[in-house]
Amino acid sequence: MLTSIHDDPPILICADLQVEYLTPGRRHVIFDGDAAMARCLELLMLWRSNLWPVMHLKRIAQAAWFNPASRLTDWIAETKPHPGEMTFEHPLPSAYSSARFVDHMSSIRAMRCVLIGFSLDETILATAVDGFHRSHRYQVVIDAVACRQPGTDDAAAYRNAVVNVIGNFATVQSSAELIRTSGAVAV
């Protein structure tokens, strides 16, 4: 089904586009994040140029990683929220661990969300599952997400397994499938 993006634009949710994920030696470093980051920037620029709604998620925790006092939790410079874009800090993998996020999402009717960013195997997976159980519709843009280095030798198989699980709770599609030349967004 196609819906005109101008009639009901989906919300672009940028998940955890933080310095922590691109810093070598850190626990959650993403080694192959360049391609996903490039696609995230393209989608973010498209949403901003059309004045469509954008939200940003920021992972925080009181630990040696995602410590809110550390500069490593800062947004990646190119993805820093603009005025008017909502931001939510979440202490657990799911964005729904933020009470503000839960309140905001429950106040939106007929919402569709496009989820991009980092931590495919944590934030994106957990948020898609939590959203599914709240009847929120998520689309995960497969070429605009990345996960940390798994504790396995076969990173591609690990990523595919995570994507297969997410597919039970959200629509999984490429950015090319998401954005069509006609200016419509698949839902």
The pLDDT tens digits for 30-84 are 767 788 999 999 999 999 998 999 999 998 876 555 555 566 678 888 999 999 9
Contact 59, 47 (CB under 8 A): no
Instruction: State pTM to two decimals.
Output: 0.86
Pick the closest to residue 148 from 46, 71, 59, 52 (CA basis).
Answer: 59
Q: Would you state the structure tokens that stand for residue 184, as one six-digit string?
A: 């419509």
Instruction: Express as a percent the part of the chain with pLDDT over 70.
Output: 82
User: Confidence band (pLDDT; 50, 70, 90) for 186?
Assistant: very low
Residue 173 has a pLDDT of 93
- Distance in angstroms (rounded) separating the CA atoms of residues 79 and 56: 9
4 pLDDT exceeds 70? no
User: Confidence band (pLDDT; 50, 70, 90) for 12?
Assistant: very high
Average pLDDT over residues 124-128: 96
Classify 100 as helix, strand or coil: helix
- CA distances 156 to 32, 96, 161, Å, are 11, 28, 9
Average pLDDT over residues 105-126: 89
User: Confidence band (pLDDT; 50, 70, 90) for 19?
Assistant: confident
**Between 151 and 144, where is the model more confident?**
144
Per-residue DSSP letter, 1: -
Q: 3.40.50.850, 3.40.50.1100, 3.60.150.10, 1.10.3660.10: which CATH number matches 15-169?
A: 3.40.50.850
- Distance in angstroms (rounded) separating the CA atoms of residues 165 and 180: 26
Contact 55, 87 (CB under 8 A): yes
* H/E stretch holding 140: strand 137-146
Pick the closest to residue 44 from 92, 88, 11 (CA basis).
Answer: 11
Write out pLDDT tens, residues 94-113: 999 999 999 999 988 767 89
Residue 70 has a pLDDT of 63
- Distance in angstroms (rounded) separating the CA atoms of residues 102 and 121: 21
Residue 124 has a pLDDT of 95
Rg (the chain; Cα; Å): 15
